[in-house]
């Protein structure tokens, strides 16, 4: 039996994200999907959430925003939302606002261990049934040189990434000295966790509305 048959779901799958890294990871494991980025206003996130609750809240509401649009159009799909944050102690490091902010983030992460959290949510646009979860990975940076940070930020690559670095296909990979946990979680989508939930969720819903 080809493994692609394990990735067939009763409804079309939509990725509620414009992240090329998440798209690449889904294609890597043979998932068929389309992209419809969410326009959820992240300023609406409650301020009293824990970091894990923060990424799950964003993942769920990104999926929910797209699922609601589909429902209003009478379209049925499974919607996958995701959000990644870098956590240093209790401080959340999201995408840098400018080049100097990116340099500051990288100097802060230098020679320290940080946590990468990714929340995922899967929602049925017909019923609003959903599952939400998160994954945690510990990442250690070696001691970074100032010229390395400056050169990396000058490429522009860190500007669309939580924590101002990418571990995949990117110079940011040479900053990482140790990983404890799911590598793909650091890229932006914990594949094993997502696969298990997609399989379980897909089996639990009918292919047509009764």
- Please give the residue that has the higher pLDDT: either 46 or 108: 108
Q: Is the pLDDT at 209 greater than 50, yes or no?
A: no
pLDDT over 50 (residue 208): no
The reported pLDDT for the residue numbered 5 is 64
**Tens digit of pLDDT for each residue in 156-195?**
999 989 899 999 868 889 999 999 999 999 999 999 999 9
> Which DSSP category does 121 fall into?
E
Round to whole Å and give the CA distance between 191 and 175: 23
pLDDT higher than threshold 60 for residue 48: yes
pLDDT score for 42: 78
Question: Do the beta carbons of residue 117 and residue 139 sit within 8 Å?
Answer: no
Residue with tokens 């799958």: 13
Element (H, E) at 63: helix 51-72
Domains of the chain, start order: 3-203 (3.90.950.10)
Confidence of residue 4 (pLDDT cuts 50, 70, 90): low
pLDDT at 26 over 90: yes
Q: How high is the pLDDT of residue 2? A: 53
Q: Is 160 a catalytic residue?
A: no
Contact 205, 130 (CB under 8 A): no
Q: Which band of pLDDT confidence, cut at 50, 70 and 90, is reported for residue 200?
A: confident
Q: Which candidate in 83, 133, 150, 182 is catalytic? A: 83
pLDDT in tens, 70-80: 999 999 999 99
């Amino acid at each position: 039996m080809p493994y692609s048959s394990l990735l067939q779901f009763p409804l079309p799958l939509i990725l509620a994200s414009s992240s090329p890294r998440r798209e690449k990871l889904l294609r890597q494991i043979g998932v068929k999907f389309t992209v419809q980025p969410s326009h959820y206003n992240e300023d609406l996130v409650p301020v009293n959430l824990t970091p894990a609750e923060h990424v799950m809240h964003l993942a769920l509401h990104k999926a929910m925003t797209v699922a609601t649009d589909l429902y209003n159009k009478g379209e049925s799909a499974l919607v996958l939302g995701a959000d990644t944050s870098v956590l240093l102690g209790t401080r959340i490091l999201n995408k840098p606002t400018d080049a100097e902010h990116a340099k500051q983030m990288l100097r802060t992460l230098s020679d320290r261990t940080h946590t990468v959290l990714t929340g995922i949510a899967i929602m049925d646009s017909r019923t609003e049934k959903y599952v939400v979860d998160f994954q945690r990975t510990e990442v250690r940076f070696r001691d970074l040189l100032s010229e390395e940070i400056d050169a990396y930020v000058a490429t522009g690559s860190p500007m669309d990434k939580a924590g101002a670095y990418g571990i995949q296909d990117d110079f940011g990979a040479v900053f990482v000295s140790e990983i404890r946990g799911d590598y793909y979680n650091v890229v932006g989508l914990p594949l094993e966790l997502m696969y298990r939930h997609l399989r379980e969720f897909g089996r639990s819903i009918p292919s047509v509305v009764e």
